[in-house]
Amino acid sequence: MIREPEDLEGSMFALPLVDWARMQMIVEDGKRHPRFRSMKTGVGDFFCPMGFSGMKRSAISRHNRILFAWVLLVCAAFSYSCNRNQPSVEGSESDGRSMVLPHSGATIRHAKGFTLEYRPGCKVLRVLTPWRDAKTNFTYVLVPRGAKHPEVEKGAILVETPVRRIVVTSTTHVVYFAMLGIEDSIVGIVDGKMVDTPSVAARIRDGRIREVGDGSGMAKGFDMELLVGVQPDLIMTYGTGVPEFDQHGKLQEAGFNVAMNSEYMETTPLGRTEWMKFIAAFFDKDTEAESLFDGIAERYQAQAAKASAAAVRPTVFCGANFRGVWHMPGGNSFVGAFIRDAGGDYLWKDEATTGSIPMNIESVIARAKDADIWLNPADSRSMEELEGQDERYSIFRAFRTKRVYNDNAKMGSGGGNDVWETGIANPDRVLADLISIMHPELLPLHQRTWYWQLPEKAGGAK
């Protein structure tokens, strides 16, 4: 269950106490508040522009009082909304510059697992659901490098931006660094042989990115000596909620800044891709990420709208029998969303779960034996291989009509499946693959990237 964000704003009408004497000094005629010493005019002149220069002093005073009331209301409301329960942040003037972050840059519209908030002088990221059934969340306060560090709430992690040196632990995160042009910031990686993104893979091969651990999935492990050697500003990893596998606690105890990226918890393709904005925030690439994501979302939604208008929706099921258990994606899962948006009739669409449903093969046959399309049959790469795993597969009509498609057409040299790297970051292209399977008439010229129809024998044409 996704926890709702904390209420940081409260009522906009509950204004804080104001230093009236200080405010009066700001607007007093002929005087300049210290904050306005660099101005060529007094603050009274600032509030009473030259169009009023011919007015009598009493009229100007009345005008100032009216403006004072409005300014007070606006300033107080702004002060309350930006500072209640928030760290006090001041720019550093040691280098002659005021380090103030923009109050916007990226807006989170689809992702449910994190929030991004812009405050004067800093950004605040909150990871709301780091893993399934999590009872905790994580907060990161991002401050421009060289600026005065603010006081942060208990448990929050302060990170200077832009991050210069980062360790990445998941291939699903790597491609965003290439998309944002920040590959040079990666100094360490875990299980780098699985990376398929060309610009990052090249850096791994020539040693610019060092292997700091090995293993995949929950079996990932870190070499602390190597981690210390690459001197990361930040380690980006993920959690599972299983203490014996999760590494973030040990890394924090060792003195590393750790960012929890839980994009895998999202239940929609666009929600998952929007985590590029989470990564971008640490590098002050918010605007670039917003632009990239907007293009992806626009294309995805246009294709989904086209598929939704199709007159017929083919029936679809997924997965395969593994050691007596068939894990069928739930109706509200990431896979279920893809099938729905591609114009398919997912036979488990009414199973309102975001995870998978463990079933036996008999139950799957009972519901899906006459289905039109079979997707993602584990790692199978041919019909012959699939039938060899379980002869009962021939009961499915989709098997007999050879309408079986898998998402492993593009595999990296190290064995990684690129759909879980480049595909995750480009859901519009994955959706196009699926639409071309379910409604080939809608995309007659589309060349599929990740999905392919299984050939009769291994090594057959894709």
Q: In tens digits, what is the pLDDT along the chain, a chain of 462 residues?
A: 333 333 333 332 233 333 333 333 333 333 333 333 333 333 333 233 333 334 433 443 444 444 444 444 444 433 333 343 443 333 333 333 334 455 568 999 999 999 999 999 999 999 999 999 999 999 999 999 999 998 889 999 999 999 999 999 999 999 999 999 999 999 999 999 999 999 999 999 999 999 998 765 555 688 999 999 999 999 999 999 998 889 899 999 999 999 999 999 999 999 999 999 999 999 999 999 999 999 999 999 999 999 999 999 999 999 999 999 999 999 999 999 999 999 999 999 999 999 999 999 999 999 999 999 999 999 999 999 999 999 999 999 999 999 999 999 999 999 999 999 999 999 999 999 999 999 999 999 999 999 999 999 987 766
The angle at the Cα of 376, spanning 173 to 295, to the nearest 5 degrees, equals 45
pLDDT of residue 105: 85
Query: pTM for this one?
Result: 0.78
Distances 397 to 30, 186, 335, 368, 451 between C-alpha atoms, Å: 87, 48, 21, 8, 20
- CB-based contact 105:286 (threshold 8 Å): yes
* 272: number of Cβ within 10 Å: 22
pLDDT of residue 69: 45
Q: Cα–Cα distance between 125 and 108 in angstroms, integer?
A: 11
Structure tokens at 143: 């401050």
- CB-based contact 135:201 (threshold 8 Å): no
In order of start, what are the domains of the chain with their CATH numbers? 20-83 (no CATH), 114-264 (3.40.50.1980), 310-453 (3.40.50.1980)
* 375: number of Cβ within 10 Å: 26
pLDDT of residue 221: 81
Q: Cα–Cα distance between 289 and 284 in angstroms, integer?
A: 10
pLDDT of residue 33: 34
Angle between helices 171-179 and 198-205 (to 10 degrees): 110
Angle between helices 427-438 and 334-341 (to 10 degrees): 60
